[in-house]
Structure formats: structure tokens, C-alpha cells
Homo-oligomer: A and B are copies of this chain.
Amino acid sequence: MHCITNIVVAGFTANVLLAIGASPAMVENPEESGEFATIASALLVNLGTLSPSIEAAMRQAATAARHAGTPWVLDPVAVGALAHRSRLAAELLGDGPAIVRGNASEIMSLAGHTGAGGRGVDSLASSEQAIEAAVGLARRIGGAVAVSGAVDLVTDGERLLAVPGGDRLMTRVTGVGCALGAVMAACAATAGPLEAAACASALFAAAGERAASATPGPGSFAVGLLDALSALAATP
């Protein structure tokens, strides 16, 4: 599993992937990211923290993934709120991600590049408000779009699945959404985009509920979430 993600969540993302039995490797330099995207089973591109070097690595990896048929996930963190990354995300869409995962504002903004409008930060929109944007974006990329929120929504442009559950503590730990995108990529190595996105969302919702039931605060919850993901992933 090739991950290009941000400095805030890299460790947690790797631990989530290890917990579910995946094998993560972060390769984020342009000299290597294309080569690694070719041999990896799946790729995550998360726009959290950028630099000229990392952006070049993202472009190399996305293009190599397209040529090699490696399924990849785009997580357009904060797109819409900042102009530079909005342009980068629009450009990366051209390499055909299997899945785009974001919150409602990010998905609405990204879809807006083709005329659907939408710009802002998470608190300004609910998942339901992003349905039209998500459906349009899924059709455009020929893959799936996942909108994270109180209820997660997943669509491939034809079907629309709602994944309820989870816990509010999931918004009090950094990287839960980013790690969910990584797990979608891991699932996309062996399943279609809609199934991968929906299964990953359902796994997180179940693990979040299990972890929240036994924890006094966000520190313990992050630890319990890893334990719960590991236990659920090992259940036959």
C-alpha cells in the first residue's frame, strides 16, 4: 500500500493499515513515487501538507498508477478553502482516481471545478448537501465518491449507499478521516471502488462504536480504535 500523506497523520495512518493487516509504505519523493506506485497494490494521495517536492511526487505517482492500473484514492484535504491545492486536486483528477474521499465541503468544491459550485469548510455543509456533487463527480471519474460526515455517503454515480454509525469521538482524534481514505485504498486493491469505499466506512463505523463504548476521552479512544480495527479485521 503506497501512501503519500501528510506529516500530521502519517504515523496513525500506518498504524491503522497495519491493524487491518495491510502493509503500508510512505514514499513521497518524485524520484521514487512513480516507480513505487507501479509495484504497489494501491495508492493513497492525501493533500494535507504540501511542498513542491511532495506535489511533484503526487503527480508522478498518480500518473504511474493510471498507467499501471493501480487503484488509487484522492483525499482532497481542505480543497475549496485554499486556492493552490484546489488547482492541484483538479489536476490530479485527470489521472482517474478509483475513489475520492472528503467531507461535504471538499467534495462540493472539487465537483465545482466542473461547474457544480461549492466552496468552504466542513461545518458549512452536511453530507446530504453534497449528494448531487458526489454523484456528478463519481460519474466524471468513473469511480466512487465518499462523503464523510455524521452519516457517511458513498456513490458510484448510480447507486447511493448510506453508512450510519461511528461516534463523535472520531472527530476529536486527528487523522481518522485521513486513515479512512487509506483503508479505502487498501480495500480497492481487491474490490471495486463502491464496495471498497463502503466496506471501509462500515469498518470504521463499527470500530468507532466499539472503541467509544470503553473510553473516557480522545487519547484512550485513539488507542482503542486501533485495537478495535485489528479485532474486527481478524474476525472471519
Chain A contact residues, CB within 8 Å of chain B: 6-12, 14-15, 18-19, 24-29, 31-32, 35-36, 39, 48-54, 78, 81-85, 171-175, 216-220, 222-228, 230-231
| Residue in contact with A11 in the complex, picked from B9, B26, B50, B226, CB distance below 8 Å | B9
How far apart sit A42 and B154, CA to CA, in the bound complex (Å)? 34
Would A226 and B217 count as touching, CB distance under 8 A?
Answer: yes
- Collect the chain B residues with CB atoms within 8 Å of residue A36's CB: 81-82
| Residue in contact with A230 in the complex, picked from B8, B27, B217, CB distance below 8 Å | B217
- Collect the chain B residues with CB atoms within 8 Å of residue A12's CB: 11
Chain B CB within 10 Å, residue with most, of A24, A83, A173, A226: A226
Would A27 and B49 count as touching, CB distance under 8 A?
Answer: yes
How far apart sit A141 and B81, CA to CA, in the bound complex (Å)? 31
Cross-chain pairs A/B with CB under 8 angstroms, 26 sampled? A6-B26, A7-B7, A7-B10, A8-B26, A9-B11, A10-B11, A10-B49, A11-B174, A14-B175, A19-B218, A24-B174, A26-B49, A27-B78, A28-B50, A28-B51, A29-B52, A32-B50, A32-B85, A35-B82, A39-B81, A217-B231, A219-B222, A219-B224, A219-B226, A220-B223, A223-B223
Would A174 and B15 count as touching, CB distance under 8 A?
Answer: yes
- Collect the chain B residues with CB atoms within 8 Å of residue A226's CB: 217-220, 222
Residue in chain B with minimal CB distance to A216 = B227
How far apart sit A217 and B214, CA to CA, in the bound complex (Å)? 14
How far apart sit A227 and B175, CA to CA, in the bound complex (Å)? 17
How far apart sit A7 and B227, CA to CA, in the bound complex (Å)? 23
| Residue in contact with A49 in the complex, picked from B28, B48, B81, B227, CB distance below 8 Å | B28
